[in-house]
Each structure stands twice: as C-alpha cells, then as structure tokens.
Structure 1
Amino acid sequence: MTNVEINPHWPRLQNELVGMRWLGILLTVVVAVLVIYKANFPTYSYRYRLQISLSVDEKLYTGSSVIEVVWKCGPHITGLGRCVPYLGGQAAVVDLGSRGAVVATLGTGENIIPVPDGAVDAVFICANAFGNRSIDEELPALPRLTGRRDLSPSNFPRLVWFSNPADMTSAQKITIENVANVIESTARFTEAFVEITSDPVVMNIATKLPWFPAFKLAQKGKGVLSMPGQFQLVYNMFVGESW
C-alpha cells in the first residue's frame, strides 16, 4: 500500500479557503444592501455659483458665492414628503464700499407662502433657472445640470441692504424694483446668474458681516422663526444648515 503524504499546512489552507468564501459572501451581502439602500434612499446633489452685480454711480460691484444643494430621499410616508433638501454654503455679499453691502440671502426670511415680494429660497433658485421644479420625479436630473442661466425678476433671491455691514440693525429689505429709491438714485442691478460648478464651498461670511458669529450663536438651536408677514433676520439666511 502506498503511503499518502498529507501536507501539514492543509488544515490552515482549508481554514483560509473557508474564510475567503465567507468573506466573499459577506461582501456580496454588503453590496446588495448598499444597492437596495441607494435605491430606496437616493441622494441628489449639485453645486452652483450665484453671482450678482450692482451698478452705483456707474461703478460696478459684484458678489458671488458657491452654494450646494443636497436632496435626501426615502420611501414615501403617508402625509409626508419623500425628499428633504439641505443647503451648504453662504449668502452672496456685494460690497458697496461706503454705501454698505447688499446680501443675496439663502433663505427669504419669511414664514408664509407665497412670499409677499416673490423672493426665492436658494434651494430652488438655480433649479428654477434651469426649468427644474425640484419635485420628486425631477430630482434625479439635478446632478446632471450644466452651464449657466440668468435669473429672471420672478426668480430672484431675498436682497438685504446693510447701510453699515458691521451693524446688523442697519438691515433693510430691498427688491430689484426699489433699489434706486433705497440705496441711491443711480443704483441698479446689471447682472444676476447661476452657474453649475465643481468649485469648493467657501465659508468666510464673518469677514464680510463681523456681527454674524455672535448672531448665529444666539439663534442656532433656539427654533427661531420669523413671524408670519413680518420680515426679520434669521441666521440660516446667511449660512447653510449643513455647514
């Protein structure tokens, strides 16, 4: 009878093979779970630059900001919307020098719909310009947006003029129609557009509005809302909740 020599390492090799088999099964399960999760909890995001130019005494002033919109979705729940938006970035500030600053805010500062003067939230303003209504069936198209679109008077952000940017109490709500009456007779908006970008989000609002850090600290987590029909400053008009 021929003696069969058994490799002394065979038990260890068997254990390794079994371990690799289970690892393969585990990876398959993980991938399947991720696919199912993404199918039921999709996320749609895009980033855009908001830029606004204002002329005063024939001198041009421009401000811009990169804003990120993220829609997080889940299964339909009776009585509740399927998708919820989150904003990143900050308001665009147009520095007018001795005439203060105009801020195109992220939020409207109003707690009623429709907003009395038609100001549009940063969640919707870029999508609106591209003809996307940001409703469930149109959200998957948002990450595929490219290019630039001008803003129309009916699709414009909330505008707040600070006669003194260092003093939050100097804030005054303005519109593209009354800017000449409020700031200076020659003042007019010359350009406003949104453009899809991959540029990074920059957070430096405190260098433009030095009162903002203390203002945010005083309000954040306190559930501060503007009263219906009454305009007031709320910290998330200036920075996104996800930053």
Structure 2
Amino acid sequence: MVVVVAGYAAYKSIFTTYSYRYRLQISLSVDDNVHTGSSVIEVVWSCGPHLAGFAQCAPSLGGQATVVDLGSHGVVVATLYTGENFTPVPDGAVDATWLCAIAFGNRSTTEDLSKLPHLTGRRSLSPDSFPRLVWFSNPADPKSARKVTIGNVASIVDPTARFTDAFVEITHGPIVVDIAKKLPWYPALLEAQRGTGIYSESGKFQLIYKMFVGENSS
C-alpha cells in the first residue's frame, strides 16, 4: 500500500490536472420578451512533466453549448468552439476554454493555470469577449445556421433583438448534455464527423460536432 501511494504521489507530481466548472448564461430580448439559456461547462487542463522549466499543457472541455430558445424566432447557440481553425478569429469570438478565464482576468498561461480551480463568483462578459454565436432560424435544420454577433443580431434575427445579459459564474453543479433535444440533427452530425479530424476551411463557416458537445462528455 505504501508503494502504491508513493507511486501515485510521484505520478501526480509529474502529471498535473487543473479543472473548474462554470455556468454560461445569456439573455436575448426579442419583441420585448427576454429569452434566457444557460449550460454548465467544465474546462480541464492536463499538464505533463516540466521540461526546461515549462510544462506541456493541453485543454479539453466537458458540457454542451448554451442554447437560447427564441420561440418563433428560432434559437441562438453559444458554441463551445468557434469553428475556426485559424487565429485571430475575424469577429473576435472566443472558445469556451478561454471564455470564463478571460472574464476573471486569468490568461490561462502555465503560471496562471493553478489559480483556475480557486476562482469564485460571477463575471459579466465584455462585448469584445463573447462566444461564437450561431442563429438557427429553424432549429430542426442545420442549413439554416448563420453566424451572429452583438453588433449584427438585430439586422439578422429581428430588428428588436438585443442581448440584455451575459455572464459566467463558477459552479460545482452537474453537467447536463441534452443538446439532441434542442438540436435534433446533432446526433447525425456527430455520427458523420466523429473520427474524421474535420476542420473548417479558411474563410468558410462550417458546423463541427465539437462546437456543441465537449470531448469529455459522454
């Protein structure tokens, strides 16, 4: 038993994991009716041994995209990933990996990772640090997808449309994955793309299954 404990301690000293959960909540008003959606997202940073003073760390996500149901006006989805394979993203959209950390002033650098599990409280999202927003005029049809931003939501969704609130809040709440109930085409997208290493082409918007459910989710 002593050998096992010592071996586990040695392993943990070489391979370190930092994780935290946050709730993303977004509210959008259309025709003076406020619609709100939220989801719990988990960020996990896995770090290997330190080499030359630096650790190789890689992030992964659990949870699902945040869906705001607008009734007859469709749905707006805040995706986990931007769907872009190059940086900087032209419209400034931010992946869920960085979204909460940025709101709390944490850069998620090697030096800052250990602080992430100790975050507490709630922070509003700034207009220049928003997730990728995708509007589906018909939630049952993935071909109805269009990218929207804070600046153009009124011209695309409805003249009265405006974002009224958006924040992240540290939580220990459970992760719920029920995206298929909200976007019924998601299982088919997952089946078609999983294992293919699919990426969006430069300058081309494309739906990718990882945008909707994190790789750490069952």
TM-score scaled to structure 2, two decimals? 0.97
2:84 to 87, 93, 110: 110
Instruction: Tell me whether 1:33 sits opposite 2:7 in the alignment.
Output: yes
Residue 153 (structure 2) aligns with: 179
C-alpha distance in structure 2 between counterparts of 1:165 and 1:41, whole Å: 42
Alignment gaps of 5+ in structure 2: none
Greater CA radius of gyration, 1 or 2?
A: 1
Runs of 4+ in 1 over 3 A off after TM superposition: none
Residue 181 (structure 2) aligns with: 207
Residue 129 (structure 1) aligns with: 103
Displacement after TM superposition at 1:107 (Å): 0.2
Counterpart amino acid of residue 117 in structure 1 = D
Please state which structure has a larger fraction of its residues in strand: 2
C-alpha distance in structure 1 between counterparts of 2:3 and 2:55, whole Å: 30
Instruction: Tell me whether 1:85 sits opposite 2:55 in the alignment.
Output: no
Residue 67 (structure 1) aligns with: 41
1:192 to 162, 166, 175: 166
C-alpha distance in structure 2 between counterparts of 1:111 and 1:102, whole Å: 22
Give percent identity, aligned residues only.
67
Deviation string, structure 1 residues 47-94 (Cα, Å, up to 9, x no partner): 00000000011000000000001111101458x961111100000000
2:75 to 84, 90, 101: 101
Residue 54 (structure 1) aligns with: 28
C-alpha distance in structure 2 between counterparts of 1:77 and 1:65, whole Å: 37
Counterpart amino acid of residue 150 in structure 1 = S
Deviation string, structure 1 residues 84-115 (Cα, Å, up to 9, x no partner): 11100000000000100000000001111000
2:199 to 214, 225, 235: 225
**SS at 2:180's partner residue?**
helix
Please state which structure has a larger fraction of its residues in helix: 1
Residue 235 (structure 1) aligns with: 209
Deviation string, structure 1 residues 121-148 (Cα, Å, up to 9, x no partner): 0000001101111111110111111000
- The 8 Å contact of residues 51 and 64 in structure 1, kept in 2 or not, is answered as yes
